[in-house]
Chains A and B, each alone.
Chain A
Amino acid sequence: MKTCLVVDDSRVIRKVSRRILEDLGFEVAEAADGVEAMAWCTAVMPDAILLDWRMPAMDGLEFVKKLRAEPGGDRPKVLFCSVENEIESIRDALDAGADEYIMKPFDGGIVAGKLDYLGLLA
């Protein structure tokens, strides 16, 4: 079973994302910010990370830069999932090491499409 770590400071978003990802056959873990997410990843790298941008402690951009510098940190597919919808922000996220970008609000179809494009759906 493929694993996905959902990183978002909103409990509601984590819950919505968890439901979508579980329906797509993922095993889901949750983190409320970048620091918590990094603790997960140093223990075991997930296959995918759904990553919010604005979070306390460590934001998404800082997280993805740190992750990519970790041993094995190049392996997870990182999908930003943020209300930031300016082209420049999206470019910054991709340049920092993200594989895909989802603008909120999103739905199951968008998440499934992005995961399929990244080769994570069977």
Chain B
Amino acid sequence: MIPAPDRAFVSALCLARAGLMVDAEKAYLIESRLSPLARRECFSSTEAFIDALRHGADDRLAWAAVEAMALPESEFFRDHHVFAQLADEVVPVLARSRGGEPLRIWSAGCGTGQEIYSLAMLLADVPGLGKLELFASDLSERSLEKAQSGRYSQFEVQRGLPARMLVRHFEKDGEFFALSPRVRQMVRWRRVNLMDDLARVGQFDLILCRSALGQLAPEAGGRVLGQLHAALAPGGLLVLGQNDSAGKAFVRAAPDLSLYAATDDVARSAA
């Protein structure tokens, strides 16, 4: 088992770099996430790997460790009613309000891509939406690489993906299932640490952030919500996870959906 001081070090590293909350008591979790990475990087043990991090190994290794501790979103259509409402109501209304301007959508903390692809598959079949710009970002390069490839295992395509969507949008590729280029090409990818200054990321009409907040320390979560608020275009909407709390800067925009509008934005348009 990884000694307690090593676990405390990993926990502090994740908090400092990405605001990630990693319970230092969860020895098994830390071991199971870091040992494959330690092996890949040719360390003799996970302890040796952590030791190298502690003694100032290169920055890339430290980031690799933090990324490995972040839990990727890995289910298609998680809370499927959310996606149905987004595609049937929310996005068409937003698109109309933009009057021909491209509608910009961002999946923040996209993991291996299931969330943004779920939305893309639905939106690909909705007529009259005009130009859509779909962006997805994650902390983890490895997750982004996988997401971008659009290749999923048999096990993964059975997590939340209806069979009709599978036959419509995927082809068999050896042991894997490959998403059609038509849907894949709808999405642009970028590595983003939500704790960094997001001013350059741009503004969005719809932001989905449904799994990141739950993994962040409270203070970090507050900072991320503030940044998402700033990244929301006027009239834009934010979708959070069902158990996330949005704080005072946002007001709920639908009774049965974790959909939020910026409080000051609503006040402005009411005035």
Contacts and interface: CB of A to CB of B under 8 A. Distances in A.
B164 to A, nearest CB: 6
B167 A100 contact: no
A87 B172 contact: yes
Contacts of B80: 117
B163 A113 contact: no
Residue among B154, B163, B164, B167 with max Cβ neighbours from chain A (10 Å): B163
Prevailing SS type, chain B contact patch = mixed
Contact of A100 (B159, B162, B171): B162
Nearest to B158: A110
B163 to A, nearest CB: 4
A117 B167 contact: no
Interface string B63-95: 000000000000001001000000000000000
B154 A85 contact: yes
A106 B158 contact: yes
B9 interface: no
B170 interface: yes
A24 interface: no
B159 A113 contact: yes
Contacts, number: 36
A84 to B, nearest CB: 11
A101 interface: yes
Interface string A79-122: 00000011100110010001011110010011001100100000
B158 A87 contact: no
Residue among A86, A106, A117 with max Cβ neighbours from chain B (10 Å): A117
A109 B167 contact: no
Interface in B163-222: 163-164, 166-167, 170-172
A98 B170 CA distance: 19
A94 B154 contact: no
Interface size band for B: 10 to 19
Contacts of A114: 158
Contacts of B77: 117
B160 interface: yes
Interface residues of A, number: 17
B163 A87 contact: no
Contacts of B159: 109-110, 113
A60 to B, nearest CB: 14
Contacts of A98: 163
Contact of B167 (A87, A103, A106, A110): A87
Interface in B128-169: 154-155, 158-160, 162-164, 166-167
Contacts of B167: 87, 90-91, 94
A118 B160 CA distance: 11
Contacts of B172: 85-87
A86 B166 CA distance: 11
A98 B77 CA distance: 20
Nearest to B175: A85
Nearest to B154: A103
A64 to B, nearest CB: 13
17 contacts: A85-B154, A87-B166, A87-B167, A87-B170, A90-B166, A90-B167, A91-B167, A94-B163, A94-B164, A98-B163, A100-B162, A100-B163, A103-B154, A103-B158, A106-B158, A113-B158, A117-B162
